[in-house]
């Protein structure tokens, strides 16, 4: 666990769990007995949509080993290699999903736009292939309509502003194709925004970056601040007229990872109305896993310098065998949720798993079937149904509705922006 408080919470959770389960004649709890908290969680998720902020399944389909790009071959009616298929979505009671439209920011190719459009194509074909289980969604009302029809409302979220290639016209085109959020950066600092995992060249957003945020507000596209630097977070909060989201980030006070959200930013969310959708990425929720990952990265860097790649691969396998990954846990994810509730307030926290975008998952949150177990843990910690419904999806629905209302107003007040990065930032034209 990350601290003494977390350990105490887990102990209390285990005590409550044991008292909720009937005992046999010898006083031992029966493993097969129903879990009252889990039953409670399942009932709650039947009444309110669980909205997950980030799932990388379209990219996983793109790079599938046997049939890359083939939506039909990657059959979601069958068990799939990683974290997501239709049966597990149903078990996990997922009510709506932002499917990530991801493009590698370090790609050296024919340009980002082609790959981005291919990702839209994969995601849209995937949604259309299962009309009895998935439903396209573009608005908060669409999510609620899909939930009433027992479909997973399926929205698209762009991961990485490099894909607009410094063009507001391209941004508008992606919105027209269905993108309802855009992560301002991925892992690479752009001409107009600093990334969390790269150098801070601008101190946050440039003037063009601020114009991107303003145009996203006018469109009704949620500004996603996962992956950006604290300076970019702060600048975006200064500029935006709509709530922001963090589609898949956790609390930096618990795990000091650059991808997590500092308390200083959490404290600004009540005024903005934004939502941090807590992620399950092990290195973001567990200090032990973060340290293990850093050690592995250092070892890999040394091995990459070796002239013999076969020797390097063998040494890497030996290192992994000698240093097994420590387990991140569901309880640690719950700790991050509770910390964000404590600092930002219960109206500003949600769920953003990052399933199909990671190789490791926390124990207890192995795939999309496990969401109810997280809610059961919070029930054992004393969360009310009112607060659990906000976490599940009501906070995101409220933020999306506010963004839609702001967009309707701004579209009455101003035309689409034709400003360029050359005009605003002095001559830069490409990422």
- Judged against a pLDDT cut of 60, whether residue 30 lies above it is answered with no
* Burial tier of 90 (Cβ tally within 10 Å: 0-12, 13-18, 19+): middle
Rounded Cα distance between 344 and 6, Å, is 19
- Judged against a pLDDT cut of 90, whether residue 178 lies above it is answered with yes
* pLDDT tier for residue 9 given thresholds of 50, 70 and 90: very low
How far is C-alpha 309 from the chain's CA centre? 34
pLDDT of residue 109: 60
Q: Could you give the dihedral angle defined by the CA atoms of residues 57, 79, 134 and 74, in that order, rounded to the nearest 10 degrees?
A: 60
pLDDT of residue 306: 66
Q: How many residues does the chain have?
A: 431
pLDDT of residue 427: 61
* pLDDT tier for residue 321 given thresholds of 50, 70 and 90: confident
pLDDT digit string, tens, across residues 407-419: 999 999 999 999 9
**Mean pLDDT within 159-176:** 96
Distances from the Cα of 366 to the Cαs of 38, 92, 230, 292, 323, in angstroms? Answer: 16, 11, 30, 19, 21
pLDDT digit string, tens, across residues 365-382: 999 999 999 999 999 999
Rounded Cα distance between 344 and 323, Å, is 37
With contact defined as beta carbons under 8 Å apart, do 407 and 366 qualify?
no
- Judged against a pLDDT cut of 80, whether residue 14 lies above it is answered with no
In 3D space, the residue among 317, 260, 253 whose CA is nearest the CA of residue 283 turns out to be 260
pLDDT digit string, tens, across residues 68-113: 999 999 999 999 999 999 999 999 999 999 999 998 887 766 679 9
* pLDDT tier for residue 26 given thresholds of 50, 70 and 90: very low
pLDDT of residue 226: 97
pLDDT of residue 4: 35
> Which residues form the catalytic set?
54, 56, 159, 186, 227, 248, 354
pLDDT of residue 343: 98
pLDDT of residue 67: 94
Rounded Cα distance between 169 and 183, Å, is 17
pTM comes to 0.89
- Judged against a pLDDT cut of 50, whether residue 189 lies above it is answered with yes
pLDDT digit string, tens, across residues 280-306: 999 999 999 999 888 887 777 777 776
Q: Could you give the dihedral angle defined by the CA atoms of residues 175, 180, 186 and 191, in that order, rounded to the nearest 10 degrees?
A: 40
% of the chain exceeding 70 in pLDDT: 89
With contact defined as beta carbons under 8 Å apart, do 107 and 113 qualify?
no
% of the chain exceeding 90 in pLDDT: 80
pLDDT digit string, tens, across residues 224-245: 999 999 999 999 999 999 999 9
Please count the other Cβ atoms lying within 10 Å of the Cβ belonging to residue 283: 22
- Judged against a pLDDT cut of 70, whether residue 25 lies above it is answered with no
Q: In the predicted model, what is the mean pLDDT of the chain?
A: 90
Strands (E), 231-336: 244-249, 275-278
Output b/e per residue, 104-131; b: 16+ Cβ within 10 A. Answer: bbeeeeeebbebbbebbbbbbebbeebe
pLDDT digit string, tens, across residues 119-166: 999 999 999 999 999 999 999 999 999 999 999 999 999 999 999 999
| Angle, alpha carbons 401-406-407 (nearest 5°) | 95
């Amino acid at each position: 666990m990350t601290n003494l408080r977390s350990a105490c919470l887990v102990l209390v959770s285990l005590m409550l769990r044991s008292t909720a389960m009937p005992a046999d004649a010898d006083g031992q709890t029966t493993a097969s007995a129903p879990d009252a908290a889990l039953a409670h969680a399942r009932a709650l998720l039947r009444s309110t949509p669980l909205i997950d902020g980030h799932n990388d399944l379209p990219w996983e389909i793109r790079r599938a080993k046997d049939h890359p790009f083939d939506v039909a071959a990657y059959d979601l009616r069958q068990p799939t290699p990683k974290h997501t298929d239709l049966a597990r979505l149903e078990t996990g009671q997922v009510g709506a999903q932002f499917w990530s439209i991801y493009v590698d920011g370090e790609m050296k190719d024919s340009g980002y736009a082609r790959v981005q459009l291919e990702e839209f194509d994969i995601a849209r074909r995937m949604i259309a292939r299962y009309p009895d289980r998935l439903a396209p969604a573009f608005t908060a009302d669409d999510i609620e309509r899909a939930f009433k029809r027992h479909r997973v409302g399926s929205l698209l979220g762009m991961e990485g502003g490099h894909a607009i290639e410094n063009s507001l016209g391209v941004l508008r085109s992606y919105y027209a194709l269905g993108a309802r959020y855009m992560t301002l950066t991925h892992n690479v600092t752009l001409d107009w925004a600093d990334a969390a995992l790269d150098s801070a060249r601008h101190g946050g957003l440039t003037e063009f970056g601020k114009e991107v945020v303003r145009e996203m507000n006018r469109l009704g596209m949620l500004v996603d601040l996962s992956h950006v630097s604290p300076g970019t977070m702060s600048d975006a909060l200064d500029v935006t007229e709509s709530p922001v989201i963090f589609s898949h980030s956790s609390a930096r006070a618990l795990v000091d990872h650059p991808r997590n959200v500092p308390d200083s930013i959490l404290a600004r969310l009540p005024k903005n109305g934004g939502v941090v959708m807590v992620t399950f990425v092990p290195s973001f929720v567990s200090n032990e896993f973060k340290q293990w990952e850093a050690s592995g990265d250092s070892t890999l860097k040394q091995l990459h310098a070796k002239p013999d790649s076969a020797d390097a691969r063998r040494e890497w396998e030996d290192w992994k065998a000698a240093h097994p990954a420590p387990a991140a846990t569901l309880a640690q994810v719950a700790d991050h949720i509770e910390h964000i509730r404590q600092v930002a307030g219960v109206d500003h926290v949600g769920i953003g798993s990052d399933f199909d975008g990671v190789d490791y998952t926390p124990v207890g949150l192995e795939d999309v079937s496990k969401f109810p177990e997280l809610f059961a843990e919070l029930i054992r910690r004393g969360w009310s149904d009112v607060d659990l419904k906000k976490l599940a999806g009501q906070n995101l629905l409220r933020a999306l509705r506010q963004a839609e209302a702001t967009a309707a107003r701004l579209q009455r007040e101003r035309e689409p922006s034709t400003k360029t990065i050359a005009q605003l930032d002095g001559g830069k034209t490409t990422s």
